Chain A
Amino acid sequence: MNILVCIKQILDPDLPARDFKIDAANKEADPKGANKVTNIFCENALETALQLREKAGGGKVTAITYGPEGAEDSLRKALAMTVDEAVLVINDKHSKPDAIAVGKVLAAAARKLGDFDLVMVGRESGDWGLGQTGGVLAEELGLPSLAFVDEVDPDGDGLKLQRQTDNGSEVATVKPPALVLITNNENNVPRIPKTRDVMMSYRKPLQKLTLEELGVADEAVGDGHTAFEVTNLYVPEKSVSCEFVQGDSLDEKVTELARRIHGIVASVN
């Protein structure tokens, strides 16, 4: 079982609200002062992959990310969680790659790295939350894909996938290769690495690839060539208005309050 897990490093979603600032000129969140962490659904994907490796009695898990040099931290953490290999596709040129660009880059890397039985991505990232990279990547690689998967089990020469739905779970089977978008459940909470593994994670090799090495042209994925453009980015302004319901008696006030609530509910519906 050869598994590729695509992960993304994002700004810490636990950032205190006061520390969250918008860089208006670049139309992105200001990374200054914020910690970088691995996107939680990507960690769920890593955990699911590691559990699958255990259930299958062996195999190889490779973690990959497309990002700046600093994204190495997320890969080191994946190594500490005991993935077998880690690959960083260095993005030092493009500030805001969209899902199509990322999908193309990751697809090129996946093809270069070998044959994978299963590609796993997190269901969406905690920063932009678009949830599109998995779909694009599946399309690029020509793989069948399934979203909202929270458990993967070996099933003969195939895989059994459990998928969350609004009303419960669905179970699907697939013959590899395939791609799944992982969501969280109580069984794929990312493991806490053992200290020895943390120490070892800094000694393990980490492969770095450039876009040139992957044969991905700047024009295909670079700034100004994205299909998706952010035109405005801002923190919504909170406004609070307060009004005391008037009336001569408590009954009158309550009746008036009920009438007003009814009006608001009716206007929303």
Chain B
Amino acid sequence: MNMSEATREVYWNVPYHNLIYVFLAPTLVIMLWGFYRRFRLWKAGKPALRTDRLGERVDLFIRNALGQARTMRNTYAAVFHTGLYLGFIVLVIATTVVAIHADTPLKIMQGPFYLFFQSLIVDFFGLFVMFAVLMAWYRRGRLKPAKLVYTDEANILLGLIFVIAFTGFLIEGWRIVVTEDPWGLWSPVGYVFGIASAKVMSTEAMTMAHRGSWWLHMAVSFGFIAYAPFTKMAHVVFSPLNIFTANLDGYGASLKDIDFEKAERFGINSLPDFTWKDLLDLDACTECGRCTAVCPANTVGKELSPRDIILDLQKLMHDSSDELLEIAAKRQKGELEPPKDGEPPPIPIIRDDHAVNKEALFQCTTCAACMEACPVFIEQLPKIVDARRFLVMEEADFPEGMMNVVTSMEQRQHPFPGTQFTRTDWADGLELDILADMADPKEAEVLFWVGCGGALVERNRSTVRATAKLLKKAGVKFAILGREESCTGDPARRIGNEFLFEMLAKGNVETLNGYGVKQIVTSCPHCFNTFANEYPQFGGHYEVSHHSQYLRDLVEGGRLQPVHEDHRHVTYHDPCYLGRHNGEYEAPRKVVAASSRTDIVEMPKSGRDSFCCGGGGGMMYVDEPPDKRVNQERAQQAIDTGADVVAVACPFCATMLEDGVGARKGDRNVSVIDVAEMLLASVGDEEAPVAGESSAG
């Protein structure tokens, strides 16, 4: 046998096979219509710029759409999804090859290509697909993870895929046996099917069954193609599209701006007020549930479920598609009436009877774990904040604890009503320079932005004091703002009071630019995020570092020399706004490493998968039910590592975790210590306890 002549007879035993093209036409029409009717819904959204920076988008697309990088993070799903994903691609190519070979003059399906690809590889992937379907079924039927959505549709889709692969092997096997195909062994799976059925079936029976199965294979395949856009299978098109148009700027820069002069409504409680990208997000969802599985609020038993927020909004979009299109058409013609006072907005999204309800919206800590977990880059957090904005700014309907904080920020420019500390009490005896009192403020190379959580909260005064002392020891020329410092506005923005955030931001930028501030070191990751990602749009451009980054540089540059090494076991808790939101996981670990004799004992949820302390998004100011406290859940995770010290790098985390550790540590001696405090103790200071010899426990 000459391998270069290897091929097979196409359409063997299938009279009238050209009819498939007759059936293909309507199939494709239905499929395209299905995709189009989704596409036109997104077009109803408001504009958003998501087609810029093409190079970065292509890169993201290659890694995460083609490369499935995030899907791979879950091993079980990675295996079966790869089977389905690659199987789908390979089988589509194979089918196309058959069509080209059979119905065009290009006879490509022959020789080694036929044997290695069209027979062997295709057989392997066909088997992989069936195996993948069984894995998926096993997960749905037996493992039953809570994160999944259990629909008939999902089972039907899996069933169709299985039938397509299975009938493929049947017709291949029968053809090989009946035609005595000399190359049959190159299709081992089909070959085995064929041999096996030859044991129990006559040649006539196999020929008949082949013909029936061939048409069944075609019918199911075409049915699947036509059905897909109307199901979550549409994600094969929408998810890659969503990845290509993802937010490229990181979670710390994912909230939208509001033009208060022009906006008809503040925040969003109306589906047509979303951008087209928000609406595309809804359709891109694959129902994998990873967002809800990692959501800290959901983990402790609260109602918030990012997955259901997306899916309920998706259902709302489909159920109200006519109204949505009507509004979009009016808006395009400029005929859309501005909203009237007191009138409910069209297609309201905040509803008591679904996931986007008032209670759930104000359970979000804005930690962005949902967005980090999403394999297809859906942006849950900005939607939650959009809805919060509506409730806060249009309705003034939000939790009392958050109201007190907003009022305090308006009146006192800080979110800690009732604090008995001033902005400079913590610095007593340190004789720090205050910009306003300096003859030449430009002499200060660095502004140490203390933050409200550092200056005004008992627990954290030692952290900012430690940072200031370390800066002094290292000979850094720095100053503080003292009384002129005010909240950056982060809690206001996350709670949903964008107006207040803007006022605070503008005021701070004016103060900072007035002194010609160039470089800022913050103690709080929330302040850090605001300076780094949110102030540039108000004209505030600064080189900003978190104290962990600045201290790391001082240690690495030899300007600080840790001498005492803490011998206790340390675990490190990544603050969301330093880690996930801004990608800094290493600097604080380096500071811990410099101060500690032991290696960090990592929690299972750390780095980009870190679990929020429960304090972000204004949640620090809200009373949580005693049995549903995010901080205690995280504290338990830290305690479970067996560590003696929980190192932190954020004032919110410090207070939340100290509280949580206090409630959960039992007889254990576990301390919550900021990395700056650790480093100060290590460098040596009369105020800081020598490492490990005493602890607040």
Contacts and interface: CB of A to CB of B under 8 A. Distances in A.
Contacts of B690: none
A19 interface: yes
B258 to A, nearest CB: 10
A53 to B, nearest CB: 16
Contacts of B392: 195
A18 B395 CA distance: 37
B411 A198 contact: no
Contact of B418 (A14, A35, A37): A14
A195 B425 contact: no
A17 B420 contact: yes
A67 B421 CA distance: 29
A35 B412 contact: yes
Most chain B Cβ neighbours within 10 Å, of A33, A191, A196: A196
A198 B499 contact: yes
B422 A194 contact: no
A16 B499 contact: no
A194 B395 contact: yes
A199 B260 contact: yes
A231 B424 CA distance: 33
A16 B420 contact: yes
A194 B393 contact: yes
B419 A16 contact: yes
Contacts of A12: 411-412
B391 to A, nearest CB: 10
Contacts of A17: 420
A12 B418 CA distance: 11
A61 B482 CA distance: 40
B527 interface: no
A14 B412 contact: yes
Given A16-B419, A17-B420, A194 B396 contact: yes
B412 A195 contact: no
Contact of A195 (B393, B403, B417, B483): B393
B505 to A, nearest CB: 15
A199 B417 CA distance: 24
Interface string B550-585: 000000000000000000000000000000000000
Contacts of B396: 191-194
Contacts of B498: 195
B292 interface: no
A220 to B, nearest CB: 34
Contacts of B42: none
Nearest to A197: B396
Nearest to B261: A199
Interface string B665-695: 0000000000000000000000000000000
Query: How would you classify the secondary structure of chain B's contact residues: helix, strand, loop or mixed?
Result: helix
Interface string A174-203: 000000000000000001111110110000
A192 B260 contact: no
A14 B422 CA distance: 11
A19 B395 contact: no
A37 B411 contact: yes
B446 interface: no
A19 B411 contact: no
B110 interface: no
Contacts of A196: 266, 393-394
A199 B503 CA distance: 11
Interface string A26-54: 00000001010100000000000000000
B499 A195 contact: yes
A16 B421 contact: yes
A18 to B, nearest CB: 6
B407 A195 contact: no
Nearest to A34: B412
B294 to A, nearest CB: 32
Nearest to B420: A16
A195 B394 contact: yes
A33 B425 CA distance: 14
B423 to A, nearest CB: 9
Interface string B409-446: 00110000111111001000000000000000000000
Nearest to B398: A192
Interface string B323-365: 0000000000000000000000000000000000000000000
21 contacts: A12-B411, A12-B412, A14-B408, A16-B420, A16-B422, A17-B420, A18-B420, A18-B425, A35-B412, A192-B396, A192-B407, A193-B396, A194-B393, A194-B395, A194-B396, A195-B266, A195-B393, A195-B499, A196-B393, A198-B499, A199-B260
Interface of B: 260, 266, 392-396, 403, 406-408, 411-412, 417-422, 425, 483, 497-499
Given A16-B421, A196-B393, A199-B260, 18 more contacts: A16-B419, A16-B425, A17-B420, A33-B483, A35-B411, A35-B412, A191-B396, A192-B403, A192-B406, A192-B407, A194-B393, A194-B394, A194-B396, A195-B266, A195-B393, A195-B394, A195-B497, A195-B498
Interface of A: 12, 14, 16-19, 33, 35, 37, 191-196, 198-199
Shortest 6 CB-CB contacts between residues of A and residues of B? A195-B393, A192-B396, A195-B499, A16-B420, A194-B396, A192-B403
